[in-house]
Structure 1
Amino acid sequence: MNGTEAAEVYSGFAEPLVPFPYLVVLILLALPLAAFLGFRLGATEYRRLEYGKFSSEKIPGGTSLGAMLALLGLLLGFAFSSALGWREARQSSLVEEATTISTAFLTADLLDDPGRTDLQVRILSYAETRLATVDDTRTREAWTAFLAKTLEAQAAIWPATLRATDAATSDPVRTAVVRSVTDMLDAHTRRIAAAAQQIPPPAKLMIFFVSVIAILILGNRSALQGRPLTWRTFVFAGVLSIVMIIIFDLDRTLEGTMRENPDTLHATIHEMQTALSARSE
């Protein structure tokens, strides 16, 4: 099985519904427009049915508005908690992988050349493939190509480990090297699993549509009560938009403003490059 075929096994990664900048613009426009549309519909109904003659208790919409806002609050609470937890898991898995790569590289120093240098070079090459860019996660095809590249580099590590440990001077050294390499490979699996944990696209659509409907009913309710559409409604729509944007931002691996911090992995790669460069001088 080559790298591309192996990458197709990882099917849990979900493509973004739309690029993040487009999503921000969509949310910022949709909610205020929903408030305005709901108000215009309510104003038409207010004039047609002459709701001005009735008391506010007899005007419909209060129960629906309360139920929609309660449902929206519940959805946003669960979505924010999930997105924040999964983002922290992705960051933790990145740090864990960086530490296991560094440990495997340093433990390989216990071996003798040429196996030592060959294994360390392969570990470094593998580490360099673990730094994904925004383009690597933008589409399913790009993600598959990224995984194929890193899996090909990963596949070369174990044969190099077996060759290098054949000449090990003692069983403890051989055991330490093999254990550090397997820990590094296991960290890859955990990081991929963490990257695949995202709010499902249908759930994101549900949150968006419930938000739009809630704001529409809010604007409609104001008109049915004979009240003007004030700045308070638009402030609420703006705050709700910001909350939704933050949730979707947290759910993105590399897009948006709350990206993973790859400094730990960058530092690990730099240290390995420095060590190999010093040895070759």
Structure 2
Amino acid sequence: MPRVTDYPLAVFGLSFLLLLISVWTGALLFRRWWPPKDSTRDDFGVIQAATLTLLGLIIAFSFSMAVSRYDQRKTLEEAEANAIGTEFLRADLLPGPDAAKVRALLADYFDQRVLYYTTRDEQELKTINARTARLQAELWAAVAAPAAATPSPTTALVAMGMNDVLNAQGYTQAAWWNRIPSAAWILMLTIGICCHVLVGYGVKDPKEERALLLVLPLVMSIAFMLIADIDSPRSGAILVKPVNLLSIAESVRPR
């Protein structure tokens, strides 16, 4: 099911609106209801600094989570391409008709895996997953039959390679499902709202400093958008491109 964080621009707009409302709430409403006192100014500064520090740590932690997941998706794309390319070569160890069948199926499988990485349409993704599952069943049957008919180290090697191909797809799918938890987003946004209320409350003259009150919501919204962009596998500008799959596909197709 799509989430708001699947759309980085929506994350930017929503977070900027909420944070802007928060900072002006602190600047106008809270200062009117509970005017700050000089005797509590130092304590307020400590609380404000501690809250902003906590927000910075949570943003840094969330950014680290998003980057690690992005790197994992890139690594698994490379591993999947290597597994399919290796199995394409190992197909030569099978008898002629079986080898040709496996290579033809792997060529179609290459196409489906490339589409998996490049599509952004959810309905098309369902079709791709269905075709991938069908091709996986056909690929396994294509290597299982000769392995069962003439058991040997050679056919076992081909079967093991096909097992690596199927496992690589499963690892990739799991990595694309591994996202920043919704609870982490809620926590980050909640602390961000609290920080902006405190920042607005600490401003001496909101009317004279209204331009400054736009800076922090803007910067934080950009940070949220960047985290959402990196964390989302199919949205935004920072995506995992199947460069290894395309490279290996070009090298094996002439065969």
- TM-score tier, shorter chain, comes to 0.7 to 0.9
2:32 is the counterpart of 1:44: yes
Aligned residue in 2 for 1:6: none
Instruction: Give ranges in structure 2 of 5+ residues lacking alignment.
Output: none
| CA-CA distance at 1:196 after TM superposition | 1.7
Aligned residue in 2 for 1:251: 231
2:102 is the counterpart of 1:119: yes
CA distance in 2, matches of 1:57, 1:228: 23
2:194 is the counterpart of 1:213: yes
User: 92-101 vs 65-74, which deviates more?
Assistant: 65-74
Aligned residue in 2 for 1:25: 13
**RMSD of aligned C-alpha atoms?**
2.7
- After superposition, the Cα gap between the structure-2 partners of 1:226 and 1:153, relative to the gap in structure 1 and judged at 3 Å, is closer
Instruction: Give ranges in structure 1 of 5+ residues lacking alignment.
Output: 1-13, 276-281
CA distance in 1, matches of 2:72, 2:250: 24
State the TM-score, normalizing by the size of structure 1. Answer: 0.78
Calculate percent identity across the aligned residue pairs: 25
User: Cα deviations across residues 245-272 of structure 1 (Å, max 9, x unaligned)?
Assistant: 1111111112111100211112223333
CA distance in 2, matches of 1:58, 1:260: 49
CA distance in 1, matches of 2:39, 2:127: 60
Q: What code does the residue aligned with 2:23 have?
A: A
Equivalent residue of 2:235, what SS? coil
CA distance in 2, matches of 1:24, 1:227: 25
Aligned residue in 1 for 2:168: 187
State the TM-score, normalizing by the size of structure 2. Answer: 0.85
Give the aligned length. Answer: 251
| CA-CA distance at 1:211 after TM superposition | 1.2
Aligned residue in 2 for 1:74: 57
Q: What code does the residue aligned with 1:108 have?
A: A
| CA-CA distance at 1:61 after TM superposition | 4.0
Aligned residue in 1 for 2:251: 271
- After superposition, the Cα gap between the structure-2 partners of 1:142 and 1:28, relative to the gap in structure 1 and judged at 3 Å, is farther
CA distance in 1, matches of 2:106, 2:44: 63
Bigger helix share: 2
Q: What code does the residue aligned with 1:150 have?
A: T
